[in-house]
Chains A and B, each alone.
Chain A
């Protein structure tokens, strides 16, 4: 039941049960579907599924050679339908292979998987190669070469070595032997000459029975080989040869067993053909190195030939030298054989898994690709007699299917999966390697690689060029000659992941905390081609807020983070024109002081290390003050107090614990307010009656002040003042024990005198990074004056600057260029400004200023590529726009070592377009993040 389909299926069409669809489909297809629908009682049939692949090659003599795209339907381990546009039932699982080619499992008609037998007999029809088959062995190395069916050979070292077998290397155990006694294996030629003498022992040995002498066996020469065969046949047929070999020979001969003639030299080929003719038997030749010398006989006799390809794929073939008898196969001979049924096989002793590659070399002999593929699938199956079951994909055949990652005969292809009788017999080990090949690979505005490839390993680009290494089992994407590969796009200022939260962030908060597993918004953005977003809060604090560089795809937070602190944004837009830049400058000054502290520390540390290395004595100044004395005398203040705070803004009175110590007239203590994570320091004075102090807590109004009186023993009453607010304080002492608490004065020196680092200020760390030129300062500015102020500050502190929004930046273009300042243009790239249409991005980029695009939104970032398209349509150069989305944006944020270009060492985030991204008519086909497709 051949499934004839016309044309290519439209991939967008949904697959439906035939009966329900209203589409007009061929009658044959309808019949198949009706027949199928009767079978599908339950969806849980174990070996039933559907394969959908880019190409399916069924290897049939008639009908289409390839279905592109193709579908194979397997039910209960047998192929039920093959085609392009066939209806499949909904309840079968579908396995998709976007880039793969599906073929029948390869058939190796000549292998050395079974070692030659160790018997001495020259004619040994009783040996069966099937006995050497161990079905439970692990055949993964052979399956990795795509070979599913093999012929087992009892040997090629004697005249008649036994009966061969055809077995399958997977599938249900019971069904692995396809043919137990497939043929009689005869070897003509030097290999069979000079067999050892045949010795039989009379057992048990006794003095009555003489030990027979060792019998010489034929053949020692070509004269002897045919004579030996004829004699053996005569003896066997007459019935006088009563042992296992004689009886087996007679049985096999009488039942018309196939004759497998293993021959290399032309004389042997001719003799074998003559033998077949004389006895009128079916047979085939294996080897055939000199078949081209007796070409006419081979072609006229139409004897199938299993041609053993030259060896040498592994470690070279070895020298032949001057030996005239040593014959080697030659590829050129293949072309001379006309259309004899030809199967290809590996040379004896070579591993079977090399079959595919060895056959691919036959292309050099001039054989067509079609012929080569047939000669390793259907034709060998026909020759060895199992073509009704394997070797091609047609309804009724066993589901022995191999999935290649690309063109079956290409060197870069490998086997993805092997199914045998519908069971998954082999799956390629997962690697992270990915090779993308395309017609154009965009490097920058001046460089493109034509017909190049990109290799991504472990999420990182490791090679780009005209040809790249492809590690074994690497995934392969062929984007085609119109494929255009670019780096992933960068949204230079977005809010993806904030989920509408418009609060401003304090300087020490990194937005890395909001990054998690990508959800639907991230996916939407990723699928549009934006792979990196510089995430900033909607509003920033006056001291600056951190920007994080985040990828829109990746399996977890660690994979998604590029840099937790990729920049700091300062908003200058609403500032008073008089104060413009002041806060920015002040912050940088604070940062500078902080940086100085650290630099000093590093210097001292280096000096100390030097001193230590030299062995000089180091003065250990333990400037550590720990008040350890315990006051013996109870005094009115020292102890633990329970404080009740009420009134003022406090609705329900709070109870806090306060520990105080009095030394002289100074009070020092700690107060623990419920709800606060830490104790707060309390300092103050006591003059015998009145306590006046402060709680060391930062509030917008300054630290709260305490004014209280010791009205009686162990009882203090007063107020806590906080600007205008007054909170009533009532404290009772619960314990008079002196409380020890360490007054931690910052140790400046450690035990051995080494300098100790200063405290880390999380808020100033980003500023420090800016000053150290590790990241950029992003300044949101709206007027030229603001930009000007920012530029001046940046110049003074020698930091990298990026201008956000920047209306009127064009006016300062030369200074921007001079200070290498980038500009992130607003989302509305083509605006009406000053009574005319203004294309800011184009204008700036022409003036040499680095430009980048932003979304200033969350998943609206998905329309950035469209914004780019509009920018190009309105006049910007396509490559300039592309650079703005990739290289320039990365450079602005000093992330160009990680993203923004297709060069080794960068992250493997790339886009596969058909056509240049900013030409209409181009299409984003796939988005790859970290070497993985974004689904």
Chain B
């Protein structure tokens, strides 16, 4: 499916103006509109409302009966990389850009699930991992996919696998101590060089030399190993810090404050971190919850099991949070909108739940000004659901990214293979679908053969009424 979108890019210019007309609009920021239109021009939303004047040259897409929702955001994923973690504990010089693989099936799945922005960053098994990047799941190269090139460094306070907390904390402390040492040495070195230029000898002690040298240091002087750390401590980079246990939260905040990146840190929480709700609330930083929303704990003496619905703890405390999908789950946890509907089912307000999959993660990863809601001026990342996003029988019909139709369920090859049918004009009702598989069993084979040849010819598929011919 990705390739189809790619093909469009390759074979023709996408329409500059698109109007999605007649659907119910949930902008997340602002009131819902029962029946409205979104006008997209040059990748951005230029108008949104009940009565929008649609220019004559806009491609009008009829989405009546459907629901328009902002593209959802995965705030913390390592699935776009070739491996999730590095072996070395401290690797601030690495960048997700180098490992990003656009052909990964994950990106295609993301489109099918309605996720339009993915924050790709190394996973939790590190002390200091590498830089992260926010990407759209369309594009042939990482550059094409990128929405936000540098978000921040991944830091782990909980022990890397095979390690323990003593080593983890010592490594962290050592990293920053060594950074200070390095900066001092660099400053001293610069001062010496400046003196050498003037052909003078060193006239002051090391402390004074360092002080003077600090002003002479330029950004290009830092070496790869330290450059990102310097940016981190100066607040120029965000920090995504993973705390596995509730007791780690206090430690995390301490480390962040000590080393100057607290104001840009995002806490990625483990399953039982809700117990430290007071500290988290006092910290006031954005948080990303663990994908498992229910926490079960057994009392060691009485044997009783206590269950907590974690997002409720945060919602009750008034702390804004972001949800993660869990693509490994065989259940519906892979869908962000399902995670949100579980929240609603457990007593969280609909508004809070919807924000936690759209605008909150967008803000957390630093793209909140561009995506995360349907507002004029924002990038046109729009998901068209066939019903309310929080209903369990809703699926994604269309996905627009930057105004390009990136996904169309009726032409979804893999889905067609799964359901054993030819792609149809309009998605059929579920009951009819069940009858089809047996009849279309023999067609399935031919379908498979077709799909192999299909990819390059996607654009020439028999037309459906909803898709006008390409220019």
Interchain CB contact (< 8 A) of A126 among B170, B247, B251: B170
Per the 8 Å Cβ criterion, residues 392-416 of B in contact with A are none
Contact (Cβ within 8 A) B177 A131: no
Per the 8 Å Cβ criterion, residues 308-364 of B in contact with A are none
Query: What 1/0 mask marks residues of chain A from 240 to 254 whose CB sits below 8 Å from any chain B CB?
Result: 001111010000000
Per the 8 Å Cβ criterion, residues 125-166 of A in contact with B are 126-129, 131-138, 140-141, 144, 154, 162
Contact (Cβ within 8 A) B301 A154: no
- Chain A neighbourhood of B84, CB < 8 A: none
Query: What 1/0 mask marks residues of chain B from 236 to 261 whose CB sits below 8 Å from any chain A CB?
Result: 00000000011110010000000000
Contact (Cβ within 8 A) B301 A119: no
CA–CA, A292 and B248, complex, Å: 43
- Chain A neighbourhood of B297, CB < 8 A: 138
Contact (Cβ within 8 A) B247 A131: no
CA–CA, A245 and B300, complex, Å: 37
- Chain B neighbourhood of A126, CB < 8 A: 170, 173-174
Interchain CB contact (< 8 A) of A203 among B90, B163, B174: B90
B156–chain A nearest beta-carbon distance, Å? 13
Closest to A137 in B: B247
Interchain CB contact (< 8 A) of B88 among A114, A119, A127, A203: A203
Q: How many A-B pairs with Cβ below 8 Å?
A: 79
Contact (Cβ within 8 A) A127 B247: no
B362–chain A nearest beta-carbon distance, Å? 31
CA–CA, A124 and B272, complex, Å: 31
Contact (Cβ within 8 A) B168 A131: yes
Pick the most buried of B88, B90, B170: most chain A CB atoms within 10 A of its CB.
Answer: B170
- Chain A neighbourhood of B299, CB < 8 A: 138, 140
- Chain B neighbourhood of A519, CB < 8 A: none
Closest to B245 in A: A134
What is the predominant secondary structure among interface residues of chain A facing chain B? Answer: loop
CA–CA, A114 and B247, complex, Å: 14
At the interface, yes or no: A429 with Cβ under 8 Å from chain B? yes
A773–chain B nearest beta-carbon distance, Å? 46
At the interface, yes or no: B98 with Cβ under 8 Å from chain A? no
Contact (Cβ within 8 A) B90 A118: no
CA–CA, A132 and B163, complex, Å: 11
At the interface, yes or no: B457 with Cβ under 8 Å from chain A? no
Per the 8 Å Cβ criterion, residues 357-397 of A in contact with B are none
Query: What 1/0 mask marks residues of chain B from 161 to 178 whose CB sits below 8 Å from any chain A CB?
Result: 011111111100110011
- Chain A neighbourhood of B91, CB < 8 A: 203-204
At the interface, yes or no: B442 with Cβ under 8 Å from chain A? no
At the interface, yes or no: B458 with Cβ under 8 Å from chain A? no
At the interface, yes or no: A117 with Cβ under 8 Å from chain B? yes
CA–CA, A773 and B210, complex, Å: 106
CA–CA, A110 and B272, complex, Å: 29
Contact (Cβ within 8 A) B275 A127: no
- Chain A neighbourhood of B166, CB < 8 A: 114, 117, 119, 127-129, 131-132, 154, 162
Query: What 1/0 mask marks residues of chain B from 86 to 104 whose CB sits below 8 Å from any chain A CB?
Result: 0010110100000000000
Contact (Cβ within 8 A) B301 A429: yes
At the interface, yes or no: A832 with Cβ under 8 Å from chain B? no
Interchain CB contact (< 8 A) of B301 among A124, A140, A244, A245: A140
A118-B301 contact in complex given A135-B247, A136-B276, C-beta closer than 8 Å: no
Contact (Cβ within 8 A) A243 B178: yes
| Residue count of chain B within 8 Å CB distance of chain A | 33
Contact (Cβ within 8 A) B173 A244: yes
At the interface, yes or no: A201 with Cβ under 8 Å from chain B? yes
Per the 8 Å Cβ criterion, residues 169-190 of B in contact with A are 169-170, 173-174, 177-178, 181
Interchain CB contact (< 8 A) of B164 among A117, A135, A204, A247: A117
B413–chain A nearest beta-carbon distance, Å? 41
At the interface, yes or no: A115 with Cβ under 8 Å from chain B? yes
B256–chain A nearest beta-carbon distance, Å? 16
At the interface, yes or no: B225 with Cβ under 8 Å from chain A? yes
Interchain CB contact (< 8 A) of A118 among B88, B163, B181: B163
CA–CA, A201 and B275, complex, Å: 38
At the interface, yes or no: B464 with Cβ under 8 Å from chain A? no
CA–CA, A908 and B91, complex, Å: 69
CA–CA, A162 and B170, complex, Å: 10
Contact (Cβ within 8 A) A134 B247: yes
CA–CA, A247 and B174, complex, Å: 10
At the interface, yes or no: B463 with Cβ under 8 Å from chain A? no
A127-B276 contact in complex given A201-B88, A204-B225, C-beta closer than 8 Å: no
Closest to A126 in B: B170
CA–CA, A203 and B223, complex, Å: 11
A127-B167 contact in complex given A118-B162, A203-B91, C-beta closer than 8 Å: yes
- Chain B neighbourhood of A128, CB < 8 A: 166, 169-170
- Chain B neighbourhood of A136, CB < 8 A: 245-247, 272, 275-276
Query: What 1/0 mask marks residues of chain A from 476 to 518 whose CB sits below 8 Å from any chain B CB?
Result: 0000000000000000000000000000000000000000000
Per the 8 Å Cβ criterion, residues 417-444 of B in contact with A are none
Closest to B175 in A: A244
Query: What 1/0 mask marks residues of chain A from 825 to 844 whose CB sits below 8 Å from any chain B CB?
Result: 00000000000000000000
A820–chain B nearest beta-carbon distance, Å? 50
Closest to A428 in B: B301
Contact (Cβ within 8 A) B181 A242: yes
CA–CA, A244 and B181, complex, Å: 11
Contact (Cβ within 8 A) A115 B164: yes
Query: What 1/0 mask marks residues of chain B from 191 to 235 whose CB sits below 8 Å from any chain A CB?
Result: 000000000000000000000000000000000110000000000
Contact (Cβ within 8 A) B164 A132: yes
Closest to A162 in B: B166
- Chain A neighbourhood of B177, CB < 8 A: 243-244, 247
- Chain B neighbourhood of A119, CB < 8 A: 166-167, 170
B137–chain A nearest beta-carbon distance, Å? 30
Contact (Cβ within 8 A) A141 B301: yes
Pick the most buried of A124, A138, A244, A429: most chain B CB atoms within 10 A of its CB.
Answer: A244
CA–CA, A245 and B174, complex, Å: 9
Per the 8 Å Cβ criterion, residues 870-896 of A in contact with B are none
Contact (Cβ within 8 A) B247 A133: yes
- Chain B neighbourhood of A154, CB < 8 A: 166
- Chain A neighbourhood of B162, CB < 8 A: 118
B247–chain A nearest beta-carbon distance, Å? 4
A718–chain B nearest beta-carbon distance, Å? 72
B15–chain A nearest beta-carbon distance, Å? 45
CA–CA, A329 and B173, complex, Å: 38
CA–CA, A140 and B246, complex, Å: 17
- Chain A neighbourhood of B276, CB < 8 A: 136
B296–chain A nearest beta-carbon distance, Å? 13
A140-B169 contact in complex given A203-B88, A203-B225, C-beta closer than 8 Å: no
A127-B170 contact in complex given A134-B247, A140-B299, A429-B301, C-beta closer than 8 Å: yes
CA–CA, A134 and B297, complex, Å: 16
Per the 8 Å Cβ criterion, residues 150-184 of A in contact with B are 154, 162
Closest to B273 in A: A136
- Chain A neighbourhood of B168, CB < 8 A: 131
Closest to A163 in B: B166
CA–CA, A538 and B93, complex, Å: 97
Contact (Cβ within 8 A) B174 A141: no
B325–chain A nearest beta-carbon distance, Å? 27
- A–B pairs, 14, beta carbons within 8 Å: A127-B166, A128-B166, A128-B169, A129-B166, A132-B164, A134-B246, A134-B247, A136-B246, A137-B245, A201-B88, A204-B93, A242-B181, A244-B177, A429-B301
- Chain B residues in contact with chain A, CB under 8 A? 88, 90-91, 93, 162-170, 173-174, 177-178, 181, 224-225, 245-248, 251, 272, 275-276, 297, 299-302
- Chain A residues in contact with chain B, CB under 8 A? 114-115, 117-119, 124, 126-129, 131-138, 140-141, 144, 154, 162, 201, 203-204, 242-245, 247, 429
Known: A126-B173, A247-B177. 15 other contacts (CB 8 A): A118-B163, A118-B167, A119-B167, A124-B170, A126-B170, A129-B166, A131-B166, A131-B169, A136-B245, A138-B300, A203-B90, A204-B91, A243-B177, A243-B178, A245-B170
Ranked nearest first, the 8 interchain pairs of A and B with the lowest CB-CB distance are A134-B247, A244-B174, A131-B169, A117-B166, A127-B166, A136-B246, A140-B301, A131-B165
